[in-house]
Amino acid sequence: MQKLSAAVFCIFSEVIRSAKIERSGFLHLFRSHPECKN
């Protein structure tokens, strides 16, 4: 059970990290292309 929760936590943190990277990339795209704001 503990091994499973550790694996889930690892996957979860990986997903959060990639989401943060994608969000910052998305915001960067937003700033460089103001016409995409709609």
pTM: 0.49
The SS3 of residue 23 is helix
Over residues 4-33, the pLDDT tens digits come to: 898 899 899 998 888 887 888 877 777 776
Whole-angstrom distance, CA of residue 5 vs CA of residue 23:
26
Task: State the pLDDT confidence band at 36, using cuts at 50, 70 and 90.
Answer: low
Cβ density class 1-36: b for 16+ within 10 Å, e for less: eeeeeeeeeeeeeeeeeeeeeeeeeeeeeeeeeeee
The SS3 of residue 38 is coil
